Amino acid sequence: MSDFDVPAGIDVLRVFCDPDGRHGNPLGVVRDGRAWPDEASRLALAGRLGFSETIFVDDPERGHIDIYTPGLRMPFAGHPLVGAAWLLDLEILELPVGEVFARQDGEFTWITARPEWAPPRTLEQYASVAEVEALTGPPPGEGWLYVWAWEEEAAGRVRARAFPRRGPGGSDGAGAGAAEIVEDEATGAAALLLSAHLGRALNIMQGRGSQILTAPAPDGMVEIGGRVLLAHPGRP
Protein backbone atom coordinates (compact mmCIF):
# COMPACT_ATOMS: atom_id res chain seq x y z
CA MET A 1 0.00 0.00 0.00
CA SER A 2 1.34 3.42 -0.90
CA ASP A 3 1.21 6.33 1.53
CA PHE A 4 -1.56 7.85 -0.59
CA ASP A 5 -3.80 4.79 -0.07
CA VAL A 6 -3.59 5.01 3.72
CA PRO A 7 -7.02 5.44 5.34
CA ALA A 8 -7.91 8.74 7.00
CA GLY A 9 -6.84 9.05 10.62
CA ILE A 10 -3.58 7.15 10.13
CA ASP A 11 -0.30 9.06 10.12
CA VAL A 12 2.70 7.68 8.29
CA LEU A 13 6.10 8.55 9.74
CA ARG A 14 9.61 7.80 8.54
CA VAL A 15 11.82 6.89 11.47
CA PHE A 16 15.65 6.95 11.50
CA CYS A 17 16.04 9.28 8.50
CA ASP A 18 19.46 10.39 7.32
CA PRO A 19 20.73 13.98 7.84
CA ASP A 20 19.01 15.09 4.61
CA GLY A 21 15.65 13.66 5.67
CA ARG A 22 15.85 10.69 3.32
CA HIS A 23 15.18 7.01 3.90
CA GLY A 24 13.91 5.94 7.32
CA ASN A 25 11.52 3.09 8.10
CA PRO A 26 7.82 3.78 7.43
CA LEU A 27 5.56 3.55 10.46
CA GLY A 28 1.78 3.61 10.49
CA VAL A 29 0.25 5.40 13.50
CA VAL A 30 -3.44 4.95 14.31
CA ARG A 31 -4.16 7.90 16.56
CA ASP A 32 -7.50 6.54 17.81
CA GLY A 33 -7.08 2.88 18.63
CA ARG A 34 -10.77 2.55 19.55
CA ALA A 35 -11.64 2.24 15.87
CA TRP A 36 -9.79 -1.10 15.84
CA PRO A 37 -10.77 -2.51 19.26
CA ASP A 38 -9.39 -6.06 19.14
CA GLU A 39 -6.28 -7.93 18.10
CA ALA A 40 -7.86 -9.45 14.99
CA SER A 41 -8.86 -6.09 13.54
CA ARG A 42 -5.47 -4.61 14.34
CA LEU A 43 -3.63 -7.48 12.68
CA ALA A 44 -5.84 -7.11 9.63
CA LEU A 45 -5.09 -3.38 9.35
CA ALA A 46 -1.35 -3.90 9.89
CA GLY A 47 -1.38 -6.50 7.11
CA ARG A 48 -3.32 -4.18 4.83
CA LEU A 49 -0.91 -1.28 5.39
CA GLY A 50 2.10 -3.53 4.85
CA PHE A 51 4.56 -1.55 6.97
CA SER A 52 7.04 -3.46 9.11
CA GLU A 53 5.13 -2.09 12.13
CA THR A 54 1.92 -0.19 12.81
CA ILE A 55 1.04 1.26 16.21
CA PHE A 56 -2.35 1.90 17.77
CA VAL A 57 -2.58 4.73 20.29
CA ASP A 58 -4.91 3.63 23.07
CA ASP A 59 -4.19 6.52 25.45
CA PRO A 60 -2.28 9.48 23.99
CA GLU A 61 -1.86 11.21 27.36
CA ARG A 62 -0.42 8.21 29.18
CA GLY A 63 1.50 7.01 26.15
CA HIS A 64 -0.24 3.64 26.05
CA ILE A 65 0.41 2.14 22.60
CA ASP A 66 0.00 -1.26 20.96
CA ILE A 67 2.48 -2.45 18.28
CA TYR A 68 1.76 -4.86 15.40
CA THR A 69 3.67 -6.29 12.47
CA PRO A 70 1.62 -7.63 9.55
CA GLY A 71 1.64 -10.98 11.37
CA LEU A 72 1.77 -10.52 15.14
CA ARG A 73 1.50 -8.26 18.16
CA MET A 74 4.85 -7.03 19.48
CA PRO A 75 5.49 -6.27 23.16
CA PHE A 76 8.43 -4.05 22.16
CA ALA A 77 9.93 -2.60 18.98
CA GLY A 78 12.43 0.20 18.52
CA HIS A 79 11.42 2.33 15.54
CA PRO A 80 7.70 2.45 16.52
CA LEU A 81 8.63 3.78 19.96
CA VAL A 82 10.97 6.44 18.61
CA GLY A 83 8.25 7.47 16.17
CA ALA A 84 5.51 7.52 18.82
CA ALA A 85 7.65 9.55 21.24
CA TRP A 86 8.25 12.14 18.50
CA LEU A 87 4.66 12.33 17.29
CA LEU A 88 2.97 12.35 20.70
CA ASP A 89 5.71 14.46 22.35
CA LEU A 90 5.79 12.26 25.45
CA GLU A 91 8.48 11.49 28.01
CA ILE A 92 7.07 8.07 28.98
CA LEU A 93 5.50 5.37 26.82
CA GLU A 94 3.60 2.49 28.43
CA LEU A 95 4.14 -1.01 27.03
CA PRO A 96 3.47 -4.55 28.28
CA VAL A 97 7.21 -4.88 29.07
CA GLY A 98 7.29 -1.70 31.17
CA GLU A 99 7.77 2.04 30.89
CA VAL A 100 9.99 3.37 28.12
CA PHE A 101 11.52 6.79 28.75
CA ALA A 102 11.89 9.21 25.86
CA ARG A 103 13.61 12.54 25.29
CA GLN A 104 14.18 15.07 22.54
CA ASP A 105 17.68 16.31 21.75
CA GLY A 106 17.68 18.75 18.86
CA GLU A 107 16.80 16.88 15.69
CA PHE A 108 16.99 13.49 17.45
CA THR A 109 14.36 11.59 19.43
CA TRP A 110 15.69 9.06 21.93
CA ILE A 111 14.17 6.18 23.88
CA THR A 112 15.79 4.14 26.67
CA ALA A 113 15.10 0.41 26.86
CA ARG A 114 16.39 -2.86 28.23
CA PRO A 115 18.03 -5.31 25.81
CA GLU A 116 15.96 -8.18 27.22
CA TRP A 117 12.80 -6.44 25.99
CA ALA A 118 13.90 -6.79 22.37
CA PRO A 119 12.77 -9.84 20.37
CA PRO A 120 15.50 -12.39 19.61
CA ARG A 121 17.72 -11.43 16.70
CA THR A 122 20.70 -13.23 15.20
CA LEU A 123 23.59 -10.76 14.93
CA GLU A 124 26.10 -11.82 12.28
CA GLN A 125 29.29 -9.86 11.73
CA TYR A 126 30.68 -9.68 8.19
CA ALA A 127 34.30 -8.97 7.37
CA SER A 128 33.66 -5.82 5.36
CA VAL A 129 31.09 -3.20 4.41
CA ALA A 130 31.34 -4.41 0.81
CA GLU A 131 30.12 -7.87 1.82
CA VAL A 132 27.11 -6.40 3.61
CA GLU A 133 26.23 -4.19 0.64
CA ALA A 134 26.72 -7.01 -1.88
CA LEU A 135 23.79 -9.00 -0.50
CA THR A 136 20.97 -9.15 -3.04
CA GLY A 137 18.50 -10.63 -0.56
CA PRO A 138 18.26 -12.57 2.69
CA PRO A 139 21.04 -15.11 3.24
CA PRO A 140 19.80 -18.70 3.49
CA GLY A 141 18.34 -19.76 6.81
CA GLU A 142 15.45 -19.12 9.12
CA GLY A 143 14.80 -16.49 11.76
CA TRP A 144 15.41 -12.77 12.04
CA LEU A 145 18.95 -11.86 10.87
CA TYR A 146 20.94 -8.64 11.39
CA VAL A 147 24.14 -8.55 9.34
CA TRP A 148 26.72 -5.90 10.10
CA ALA A 149 30.31 -4.83 9.57
CA TRP A 150 32.55 -2.13 10.94
CA GLU A 151 32.80 0.88 8.70
CA GLU A 152 35.13 2.62 11.16
CA GLU A 153 35.52 0.69 14.40
CA ALA A 154 37.34 3.41 16.34
CA ALA A 155 34.47 5.82 15.70
CA GLY A 156 31.76 3.21 16.31
CA ARG A 157 30.45 3.46 12.74
CA VAL A 158 28.59 0.38 11.53
CA ARG A 159 27.04 -0.70 8.22
CA ALA A 160 24.07 -3.01 8.70
CA ARG A 161 21.13 -4.66 6.96
CA ALA A 162 18.18 -6.52 8.47
CA PHE A 163 16.32 -9.52 7.09
CA PRO A 164 13.20 -10.70 8.96
CA ARG A 165 13.10 -13.88 6.86
CA ARG A 166 9.38 -14.10 7.45
CA GLY A 167 6.35 -13.78 5.24
CA PRO A 168 2.89 -15.20 4.61
CA GLY A 169 2.68 -18.25 6.84
CA GLY A 170 6.25 -17.58 7.96
CA SER A 171 8.01 -17.97 11.28
CA ASP A 172 6.30 -14.95 12.83
CA GLY A 173 2.91 -16.50 12.40
CA ALA A 174 1.80 -14.25 9.54
CA GLY A 175 -1.28 -15.58 7.89
CA ALA A 176 -2.58 -15.46 4.37
CA GLY A 177 -2.74 -11.94 3.02
CA ALA A 178 -0.05 -10.58 5.33
CA ALA A 179 2.60 -8.50 3.65
CA GLU A 180 6.04 -10.00 3.18
CA ILE A 181 8.84 -7.83 4.60
CA VAL A 182 11.97 -9.01 2.79
CA GLU A 183 14.33 -6.40 4.24
CA ASP A 184 13.68 -4.03 7.14
CA GLU A 185 14.98 -0.54 6.42
CA ALA A 186 15.78 0.52 10.00
CA THR A 187 15.40 -1.57 13.14
CA GLY A 188 15.82 -0.04 16.59
CA ALA A 189 15.56 -3.32 18.49
CA ALA A 190 18.39 -4.94 16.53
CA ALA A 191 20.53 -1.82 16.95
CA LEU A 192 19.85 -1.95 20.69
CA LEU A 193 20.97 -5.58 20.86
CA LEU A 194 24.13 -4.89 18.85
CA SER A 195 25.03 -1.92 21.06
CA ALA A 196 24.48 -4.03 24.19
CA HIS A 197 26.54 -6.88 22.72
CA LEU A 198 29.46 -4.60 21.85
CA GLY A 199 29.10 -2.49 25.01
CA ARG A 200 29.52 0.84 23.23
CA ALA A 201 27.80 3.69 21.44
CA LEU A 202 27.19 3.15 17.73
CA ASN A 203 26.40 5.19 14.64
CA ILE A 204 24.65 2.72 12.34
CA MET A 205 23.81 3.14 8.67
CA GLN A 206 21.20 0.55 7.76
CA GLY A 207 19.30 -0.37 4.63
CA ARG A 208 19.44 2.22 1.86
CA GLY A 209 20.94 4.84 4.17
CA SER A 210 18.91 5.18 7.37
CA GLN A 211 20.79 6.38 10.46
CA ILE A 212 20.38 4.91 13.95
CA LEU A 213 22.34 6.10 16.98
CA THR A 214 22.80 4.12 20.19
CA ALA A 215 24.44 4.82 23.53
CA PRO A 216 24.87 2.79 26.73
CA ALA A 217 22.69 3.99 29.61
CA PRO A 218 22.70 3.27 33.37
CA ASP A 219 21.63 -0.11 34.78
CA GLY A 220 22.41 -2.00 31.59
CA MET A 221 19.94 -0.06 29.49
CA VAL A 222 20.58 1.33 26.01
CA GLU A 223 19.42 4.53 24.34
CA ILE A 224 18.28 4.46 20.71
CA GLY A 225 18.01 7.71 18.78
CA GLY A 226 17.11 9.00 15.36
CA ARG A 227 15.35 11.56 13.22
CA VAL A 228 11.62 11.30 12.52
CA LEU A 229 9.64 12.94 9.71
CA LEU A 230 5.92 13.04 8.98
CA ALA A 231 5.58 11.44 5.55
CA HIS A 232 1.78 11.44 5.30
CA PRO A 233 -0.55 13.19 7.76
CA GLY A 234 -3.68 11.35 8.80
CA ARG A 235 -5.52 14.59 9.42
CA PRO A 236 -6.20 17.48 7.03
Asked if the model's pLDDT at residue 25 lies above 80, the reply is: yes
pLDDT band at residue 123 under the 50/70/90 scheme: very high
Please tell me the distance from the alpha carbon of residue 144 to that of residue 166, in angstroms, as a whole number: 8
Residue 210 CA: distances (Å) to CA of 21, 158, 161? 9, 12, 10
67-102, pLDDT tens digit by residue?
A: 999 989 999 999 999 999 999 999 999 999 999 999
User: Which range of residues forms the domain containing residue 208?
Assistant: 3-232
Q: Which parts of 74-210 fold into alpha helices (H)?
A: 78-88, 129-134, 188-198
On average, the pLDDT of the chain sits at 91
Asked if the model's pLDDT at residue 169 lies above 50, the reply is: no
Up-side HSE of residue 103: CA atoms within 13 Å toward CB? Answer: 6
* pTM listed for this prediction: 0.91
**CATH number of the domain where residue 114 is located:** 3.10.310.10
Strands 157-163 and 202-206: parallel
pLDDT band at residue 179 under the 50/70/90 scheme: low
Average pLDDT over residues 122-132: 98
pLDDT band at residue 6 under the 50/70/90 scheme: confident
pLDDT band at residue 168 under the 50/70/90 scheme: very low
Q: Provide the domain count of the chain.
A: 1
Asked if the model's pLDDT at residue 57 lies above 60, the reply is: yes
Average pLDDT over residues 17-29: 96
